[in-house]
Structure 1
């Protein structure tokens, strides 16, 4: 018998919804990839902490690290303390550094586990930053702290730099300084203003092509210090164009949560292996981890049709989770973790569970079911009913 519950439709009326009842995709044990794939990982809030949730940050460390261990077990790397972890939207720098420390320690017990950690300037009081030198010092402070722990850096886009930089030369100066002293190759991070409005005009121009020229010039000046660049512009053509212009050996890490399946599969263009495909550093991989792992495993075996058959149905869900206002996508990621039993509650750092409507979450539930991503359908339905009851809907 089909599992059913009552869900509101877009017009507010109620109707019965029957779950598909299909078996969720599971990757083979010991799955291997021919792409590097990082999942930006969310944090699990501590719902019992006696804090002011809009002003203070409390983390359930055991649940947070357990989720990272799950990602590693699926063959995925962890991009730590990034925007998916609510960096800049509730997760402060001291808590971020503690998260990085705990994640790096846990990775030592998981052979082959990849961790790359977000390094930014978010500890600076934004209104107080006046000069590029202050931005450089801010980056250097976080850089030193993470490297002291043995961490690999993801040099995150800086709100402070976007605020004080007057031209592309200011970006060149900052990144020249940071890259020249990095102990090992870093991943650069270009986050579009749809993810963070404070990053509008990054690289010194509102024109994406001009901004891309600046970023590519910085990379070309330091190719040995750049492992790759993650771009999150939600524009596949821009990503492909930039990918084909990267220096030899520098990777494109797709951050395009709308077009990731096509970009990871690649087009095989160019003589450089990294020019014809994208690796991955994606927030959506947190929410679709088993499917992502199974699909990447199929791709590594040359099973391109199977790759698309697994990953293709996840794209509508991802486009919904990352719908405008895109910066609130973290709510959908955490909601998926709750539905699938990877945390016991739907509470977020900063009270961010309130950033999406009931209608948004209901549609997310439907799309997750359609993509075979509900790992425990009975649990997911029961938790969905709890959420509906909190909103006055008896399901």
Structure 2
């Protein structure tokens, strides 16, 4: 198949060369825990303009999660991939958590617990804790594992590391089950710069390691998204025995998940939603100790991931929804908050090429047809 794609201000003929990764049903991986952070599908008839309350297409949003579960992946629900703080309001978040948790097989779900219901402005630490507690109660109510998300409000309110400890120590004491901590770098959200009370990653690492060591029975693991494999490995080496490192590094995940000797990272990744069949196949190969297949499957997905998560990184959600649309998991390329405009046509054309080469266009004919439609709407006669 061939189509014309934007390139350097013009158009080029592009012939699809990729072989789609085989579809199938998988059991959860034995050797690693693997969460895909899933996006939400906007109702194309809803008023999903910037600043408006989210209107969600529940049929396709939940259908996408069933797709992930069928591949053996667990779902990280209501995370930044679902546009927390970028279009998904707290009312819709609660409904998303409850609907998704009701369908999750064997408890294979963890849910984001944050403070984004707080109005814009400055808040004291007690208000931040109260917001976290409200959201933690929702996670407890649906019996889902909590992910204590990095909080913009806490980052703004905290005077230093001691304030982070005050908030997290209180929350961990209340949780009825071990939580996943969440360290999101400023490339994903500029409002989180200096999280844990320092602009130095090394100092911040000392703070979070101390928090974990003092609350080791209440911490299942920590998800770290700094897009720096060396810093992740350095933290991984310092974690107490039994505490997991969940990689959120969408640039270096194959090597981090494979690990080195007895140390490896589990996965909690937005890119897994985009490359779900490849992720499932690679994890099965890892279970079978077939590293050749593991690397062969994952290697071509890395350029795609680096494209989707390129700067400004926080618009990666647009690429996730774009691929879901190309692959037929949602009827239109629309997003809550109008975020489908977050990437240009040339950027999406490069994403299309790399998705083909990675074998994650599961229905190439449909993908070609839909991308031609997008070009036409964008004013490109291809």
Cα gap change, 1:216/1:117 in structure 2, threshold over 3 Å: closer, same or farther?
A: same
Instruction: Map 1:126-165 onto structure 2 (within 5 A).
Output: 126-129=120-123, 131-165=124-158
- 2:122–2:156 Cα contact (<8 Å) kept: no
Q: What secondary structure is seen at the aligned counterpart in 2 of 1:323? A: coil
TM-align CA RMSD: 1.2
- 1:27–1:293 Cα contact (<8 Å) kept: no
Matched with 2:279 is 292
Report how far residue 330 of structure 1 moved.
0.1
> Structure 1 length as normaliser, TM-score?
0.94
Q: What secondary structure is seen at the aligned counterpart in 2 of 1:69? A: helix
> Structure 2 length as normaliser, TM-score?
0.98
Structure 1 stretches (4+) deviating beyond 4 angstroms?
50-53
Report how far residue 314 of structure 1 moved.
0.1
Confirm or deny that 1:327 pairs with 2:314: yes
- 1:31–1:294 Cα contact (<8 Å) kept: no
Structure 1: gaps (5+ residues):
none
Confirm or deny that 1:374 pairs with 2:361: yes
Q: CA deviation digits over 1:60-113, x for unaligned, max 9?
A: 011111111110110000000000000110001111111000001111xx3x35
Confirm or deny that 1:239 pairs with 2:232: yes
Report how far residue 165 of structure 1 moved.
0.4
- 2:48–2:335 Cα contact (<8 Å) kept: no
Report how far residue 230 of structure 1 moved.
0.1
Matched with 1:14 is 11
Partner Cα distance (2:30, 2:364) in 1: 28
Q: CA deviation digits over 1:336-386, x for unaligned, max 9?
A: 000001111000000000010001000000000111111000000000100
Report how far residue 23 of structure 1 moved.
3.7
- 1:26–1:291 Cα contact (<8 Å) kept: no
- 2:223–2:246 Cα contact (<8 Å) kept: yes
Equivalent residue pairs, number: 382
- 1:27–1:291 Cα contact (<8 Å) kept: no
Cα gap change, 1:283/1:25 in structure 2, threshold over 3 Å: closer, same or farther?
A: same
Matched with 1:199 is 192
Choose which of 59, 69, 77 in structure 1 pairs with 2:74: 77
Partner Cα distance (1:197, 1:352) in 2: 17
Instruction: Map 1:80-229 onto structure 2 (within 5 A).
Output: 80-107=77-104, 110=105, 112-129=106-123, 131-229=124-222
Partner Cα distance (2:138, 2:368) in 1: 43
Partner Cα distance (1:339, 1:147) in 2: 36
Partner Cα distance (1:33, 1:7) in 2: 41
Matched with 2:251 is 258
Confirm or deny that 1:365 pairs with 2:352: yes
Q: What secondary structure is seen at the aligned counterpart in 2 of 1:244? A: helix
Q: What secondary structure is seen at the aligned counterpart in 2 of 1:7? A: strand
- 1:71–1:77 Cα contact (<8 Å) kept: yes
Partner Cα distance (2:116, 2:47) in 1: 25
Report how far residue 26 of structure 1 moved.
3.4
